[in-house]
Amino acid sequence: MGQQTEQGQEDILKRLKQAKAIAAKVGDRYVDISALETKSQETSDTLGQGQQTIEPVTVESPEGLGIYRHSTSHIMAHAVKELFPDAKVTIGPATEEGFYYDFDQETPFTPDDLVKIEKKMIQIIKKNNPFVRKVVSKADAIQLFKDMGETYKVEIIEEIEDDVVSLYEEGEFVDLCRGPHVPSTGRINAFKLLKTAGAYWRGSEKNKMLQRIYGTAFANETQLKDYLNFLEEVKKRDHRKIGKELDLFSINDEIGAGLILWHPNGAIIRKTIEDFWRDEHIKANYSLLYTPHIAKLNLWQRSGHLDFYKENMYAPMEIEGADYELKPMNCPFHVAIYNSSLRSYREFPIRYAELGTVYRYERSGVLHGLMRVRGFTQDDAHIFCRIDQIEDEILNVLDFTLFVLKTFGFEQYDIYLSTRPEKYVGSLDNWEISTNALTKALTTKELKYEVDPGEGVFYGPKIDIKVKDSLKRQWQCSTIQVDFNNPERFDITYRGADDKEHMPIMIHRALMGSLERFFGVLIEHYGGVFPLWLSPLQLSILTVSDRHIAFAQELVDLFKKNGIRVEGDFGNEKIGYKIRHASMRKVPYTVLIGDKEAQTATLTVRKRSGGNIVYNSREELLDFLKQEINNKT
């Protein structure tokens, strides 16, 4: 092994074995354990001349878990080929949640097929087949996979620029792969196949639909069980399921995929969110705007959206000889309002905010309830300011954002600073000024963040805040973006203190992002058990018999007059049925009206969380409800 001694090599292998390594990290490269066991010239080239550090990679590390899962996907492909010889293999990467593999299989895989595949995988694992890496010429690899009838592998290899490629053999199964892999199939301890789905080859609708099998794998059965329990909880909280149960929203094929119908229960929650949003923006010195849903196509050419977002825009419509476009963004409209009059440096900062509905084309395969739609409302805002005001405005937006997120129950979040992408507009100097301003604001607020290289938008760098829900899942919601592009493209100016024309800076900002998506996240965060201030129905008043209806109706009228979302259930059903009905609708508080309540005016209130509270008067209950609503607890 180059300058390494035999004893040195044995020591390394012993250390890897003691660490229960599944692979090794040599310098900045990950390699198979077998690469350290062989003395071939290829190994010497891989490891260099013994000057690089060699570290064990275990399944407990993120990199090791990825290798472990990728190896499991190979075992799954092996099992599929044994059970379904005519299936053609394509690609099978590891993912953050597990792994998948795509197959060209005419008949979709069934749940019973997954059971059979799992059993076959267990057999392969028990054989403890070694993963053997082989480097062959590109030409030989093409011929090998042609002979096997694996046309997708041939297509992939033909696009590889190198003259050689690496293959991995495991038992009788051969696959194209860079590796590395676990030493043998027996190292896989816990896995589960989860579901199947359709997936287009290379993600293009122009290509053939393939069959994708999703799975996951963990170091041990306990971790796997915990993850499967987590998936069950995710399934229970699915916003589409809860949305139907609570009658919050729907999507209708006659209207179109990705277009949301807000039902009364969902609409009242949306109104509550919007009222809060507008009130807080007015307090924060924003001016509220309303803008059209369409504009001339030239507007999007001038803003740059046609160059950078054309694939997400709908086909133009012709109106009186001019092309118009459904708006994908609100910003050009806000610029037009800014430009509607001359501006002075004394006016800054100018803060515009709008709940503006936009339309973007999303492929049908990625549409997902409220989370991925084609028409949605952004809580959009644009701040026009002088260059010396950038940092203060970003600090204000950060405070505002975190206040709003906390109000909705999101206490945990991750922050990312996204820098200049490959395709961008504007000068490098402006990009540096913008990036430095964002960085300094985060540092001033002592907020931890990660740099996300190259993930900025085409017109400027940005801060993204991803909230963590009650299941610790990340959701992209808030964003702050500095923009020199639109001011330049639209010739935005103001009269400075020196009586000369200057260009202001524009900050794009969304606190919640899409209202539809944010609502979907809220549903799953709370599991449909909304806090009182957001609940579509806050109070349900139930009667034991008809003789209690008059008193109960007085209560309904009183609470409704005072802004409480209340409903009376005065039907002939038994009280137990009424209580269960209110519980299924996740009503926070339920008042039971019987003889005692009607005669004494005391109110027994059942809490959604369990237990009863007795209030001495209707006014006492009203004060309690108002206080909880105002506190937004």
| Residues identified as active-site | 331, 360, 378, 380, 382, 462, 508
Residue 358, number of CB atoms within 10 A of its CB:
17
* CA–CA separation, 51 and 425 (whole Å): 43
* CA–CA separation, 201 and 199 (whole Å): 6
Residues forming beta bridges with residue 184, ordered by sequence position = 130
H helices of 208-319, in order, are: 221-236, 239-245, 264-283, 297-303, 305-308
The conformation of residue 108, written as its DSSP 8-state character, comes to P
Q: Are 181 and 70 in contact (CB under 8 A)?
A: yes
Residue whose pair of structure tokens reads 């203190």 in the numeric block: 497
Cα 427 to Cα 441, 459, 460: the distances in Å are 22, 10, 10
Print the SS3 string covering 599-630: HHCCEEEEECCCCEEEECCHHHHHHHHHHHHH
* CA–CA separation, 50 and 38 (whole Å): 14
Q: Which of 513, 557, 538 is nearest to 605 (CA)?
A: 538
Cα 250 to Cα 243, 261, 488, 512: the distances in Å are 8, 5, 42, 21
Cα 124 to Cα 17, 187, 367: the distances in Å are 23, 11, 37
Q: Which amino acid is at 589?
A: Y
Q: Are 460 and 485 in contact (CB under 8 A)?
A: yes
* Upstream peptide bond of 349 is cis (omega within 30 degrees of 0): yes
Cα 596 to Cα 509, 544, 558, 624: the distances in Å are 55, 11, 20, 21
Q: Are 505 and 483 in contact (CB under 8 A)?
A: yes
Q: Are 327 and 295 in contact (CB under 8 A)?
A: yes
Q: Are 456 and 434 in contact (CB under 8 A)?
A: no
Cα 35 to Cα 31, 46, 56, 463: the distances in Å are 7, 8, 13, 42
Please give the structure tokens belonging to residue 146.
Answer: 């042609």
Please give the structure tokens belonging to residue 512.
Answer: 């919640």
